[in-house]
Amino acid sequence: MPLQPDFESGNTDVFLPRRPRRLRQNPQIRALAAETRLHPADFILPVFAADGIGEKREISSMPGVYQHTTDSLKTLCHEALEAGVTCVDVFGVPLDEDKDATGSVAWAEDGVLNRTLAALREEFGNDLVIMADTCLDEFTDHGHCGVVRTDRWGRDVVDNDATLPLYVKMAVAQADAGAHIVSPSGMMDGQVGVIREALDAAGHQDVAIMAYSAKYASKFFGPFRDAVGSSLKGDRRTYQQDPANIRESLLETQLDIDEGADFVMVKPAMPYLDVLAKVAEMSPVPVAAYQVSGEYAMMVAAGQNGWIDFEETMMEALTSIKRAGADQIFTYYAIEASKRLRGEGGDRG
């Protein structure tokens, strides 16, 4: 039993066999006892390659994040490598006039995404892991992730099975262009299986698949619509997951693993840490989490208003994602976080 202090004698010391504060008393001891560690190699940097711009252009709802030209993206990727970030996820932003009902520019060799993938692979070889976003939403004139048809009740619906062959074309084109990893993010049933089969048939057995397995119909995606110039009409609730559900995520993840996914992902990250922990517990393959645009933008805005310490809050958020079970973290703060981890300091916020 702890001894009680004798306040009258001035002795306020208490005997406690366990004092957890012993392991918090200075930065060195805290580091020694840390259960969760971030490393630059954990981070994946999402980047945007835009057609029709002469210089990089800041995304208004995501301060510090830009749509890039090929040259400015190469510069950014060199900076990422120097900071220790070894993987980028490339999104294409086509001209509005290049969009159509099926998103056909997504698999065009001279389309903005595939041109950029080829340029990055030529520039970096295998020094930088190049991931390609494999989804049609940036490329369709309606902004949905697949083929839209009218059903017999006169409703516009996204046709799952008609979309799968288009994902196949897109994934193979990305692999042909030099992507090390393709990342189907459209939440079409069966997408991983048909892509794996097609990649192998095309001689791309070594190209990996990052499956967006638990991707929720989230309002935290809002600023991303600006980043890719989305043409979305309506919403994506018929194919992205209901925020109320978690068993569904485990089913989606298991299906993707069974179909050949090399990585699985939970998106968004912080609002779904419970999902991330469950997925990490059951998955035999690496588990990623995507700190999405809304998560990033809220912290930036709060930091700019002086309501939070942006850099410290961001590092806390990233640590929480890692602690919940993420092996990889998609974050727009990847370069700055890596510099902080290496003692160089960040420069945003």
61, 123 Cβ separation under 8 angstroms? no
Q: pLDDT digit string (tens) for 271-292?
A: 999 999 999 999 999 999 999 9
Question: What pLDDT score does 193 carry?
Answer: 98
- Whether the CB-CB separation of 77 and 119 falls below 8 Å is answered with no
Least confident piece of the model among 30-39, 70-79, 243-252, 340-349: 340-349
Q: What confidence score (pLDDT) does residue 173 get?
A: 98
| Plot region of 252 (φ>0 → left; ψ -120 to 50 → alpha; else → beta) | alpha
Residue 335 pLDDT exceeds 90: yes
State yes or no: pLDDT of 9 exceeds 50. yes
Q: Is the pLDDT of residue 264 over 50?
A: yes
Catalytic residue annotation: 215, 267
Note the pTM of the prediction, 2 decimals.
0.92
Pull the structure tokens for residue 241.
Answer: 């997951």
Angle (CA) 198-251-155 rounded to 5° is: 75
Nearest to 198 by CA among 213, 209, 188, 214: 209
Domains of the chain: 37-341 (3.20.20.70)
In sequence order, what are the residues at sequence separation of 6 or more whose Cβ sits closer than 8 angstroms to the Cβ of residue 181?
87, 129, 130, 131, 132, 207, 208, 209, 210, 262, 263
Distant-in-sequence, close-in-space partners of 327: CB < 8 Å, separation ≥ 6 = 42, 263, 280, 286, 287, 288
Taking only the tens place, the pLDDT of each residue in 38-55 is 999 999 999 999 999 999
Q: 79-110, pLDDT tens digit by residue?
A: 999 999 999 999 999 998 999 999 999 999 99
